[in-house]
Amino acid sequence: MKYFDLLIIGGGPGGYSVGIAAAKKGLSVALFEKESIGGTCLNVGCIPTKYLVDKASALLKARSLAAKELFRGELLPDYSRIMEGKNEVVDKLVSGVQMLLKKTGVITVKGEARLLADRKVTCGGEIYEDRNVVIATGSVPMMIPIPGHELCLDSTGILSLEKLPASLVVMGGGVIGLELACAFAALGSEVTVVEMLPGLLEREQKEAVRMLQAQMKKLGIRIRTGAKMLRIEKEEEQKRAVFLYKEKEEAVLCDEVLMAVGRRPNLSGIDAGALGLTLDPKGFIQVDAHQQTSVEGVYAIGDVAGSYQLAHAAYAEGEAALAHILKEAYSRPAAMPACTYTIPCIASVGLTTEAAAAAGYDPVLGSFNYAANGMGLAEGANGCTYVVMDRDTGKTLGVTIVGENASEMISAATIAVEKGLTLPEWESLVLAHPSLSEMIREAALDAFGKAVHKL
């Protein structure tokens, strides 16, 4: 029997970060990971997808400059070299996390761990015991069993392709599907997105989604919303995706079909019924405000806990769990930013106008377009910034940005929403010029008709 202060099952962002933080606090920690340290995010999710999107965006920008004769020469992507570069970045990040774990004294155990009663974990024939356990096993792609689903790739499979598909059908108009649709379209694939819901990204500010959708169509992406995928058929070396659209069957012949219809909790090695863990109706582990499960001393963070499927949310949840274990004070953040790395990116934090109205506010929406911003014009960027304010109090309720560097600007917006920045506070704030970030302040002022650079 091996004894530790903390056992962590899963080495993704939530698992490894809470392990490092706990070790720095003086706890003895063992972390179990059956595949690669860094989990889905570093290996087959956030990082490789963003590498692909970044190179695709750079290609588009270079081509736009070539069209204006500022650059010359033919610009063609080398997909195999892009994949090599992606692997190099992943390897560098994973080795960096492994080094941090080692340097802070976290014991990493390779293999599939199984949680037993009384906070014991078995892995590789050994039994480990501790005072607290953190479950950070993440999630896995969902596959809907339509006829021919075995012909589809999931998000992991498509990031392992050695050759750029000439044509691609994406089943699912959520975050993962749209990010990959944009990347492959920009690199030269002919892309069709099939989404069952009436619209894309329905939780986002509608004006921002409309602008994103217009930009996606400029990339040549065909979008079919309100469409139900019926089956995937094999046709020689290709596939045929057949779906119901406007009450008629429509078919697209393609090289690959990506099924990106969501993710489900990964409960491998976790027998919830036997352990007494309470699950929600979708199979995620239920937790309290401290991330503690229905079993004392057992915590769950990240995707498996079902709140946000975001690496930075897993970081925050790990901090909450560790604070509770150490009996330290912890204030949970009220504002959680989210980014969809499409081309262009859409990033948001807080409430949309619809959500604000449903919560009892009287929302007013301010906006400011990249076309009226000096840096936006200099960089040739397209997009718009939207700020939701409360008419009565002048408080900042939410921010959505669609456009270049939206994922960077949303950090400042998160502080504004977290602190409930008011109109007078926005008016007294000075931001650097020229910068894209100026647009957040302009949009906030515009909600009350006070933007300086907008009529």
Neighbours of 217 (CB within 10 A): 11
Residues facing residue 386 across a β-bridge? 367, 400
Nearest partner of 121 among 247, 265, 3, judged by Cα = 3
Q: How far apart are CA 412 and CA 419, in angstroms?
A: 11
- For residues 155 and 45, is the Cβ–Cβ distance under 8 A? yes
Instruction: Give the phi and the psi of residue 164 in degrees, each rounded to 5.
Output: -70, 120
**Sequence-ordered list of residues with C-beta below 8 angstroms from that of 207, at least 6 positions apart, any chain:** 365, 367, 384, 386
Neighbours of 292 (CB within 10 A): 18
Q: How far apart are CA 308 and CA 294, in angstroms?
A: 20
Residues facing residue 240 across a β-bridge? 233, 253
Structure tokens at 242: 């057949």
Q: SS3 for 455?
A: coil
Q: How far apart are CA 154 and CA 424, in angstroms?
A: 48
- For residues 384 and 207, is the Cβ–Cβ distance under 8 A? yes
Q: How many CA atoms lie within 13 A of 194 on its CB side?
A: 23
**Sequence-ordered list of residues with C-beta below 8 angstroms from that of 32, at least 6 positions apart, any chain:** 7, 8, 9, 10, 11, 109, 111, 112, 113, 121, 123
Give start and end residues of each alpha helix (H) in 39-154.
39-44, 46-67, 79-104
Query: Distance between alpha carbon 425 and the CA centroid of its chain, in Å?
Result: 31
Q: How far apart are CA 147 and CA 140, in angstroms?
A: 21
- For residues 128 and 4, is the Cβ–Cβ distance under 8 A? yes
Three-point CA angle 265, 418, 325, nearest 5°: 50
Nearest partner of 397 among 210, 213, 205, judged by Cα = 205
Structure tokens at 114: 């199984």
Nearest partner of 343 among 181, 190, 454, judged by Cα = 181
Which member of 149, 290, 433, 453 is catalytic?
433
User: Scanning the structure block, which residue is given the tokens 């109706």?
Assistant: 281
Active site residue 312: no
Element (H, E) at 220: none
Structure tokens at 115: 């949680």
Catalytic machinery residues? 433
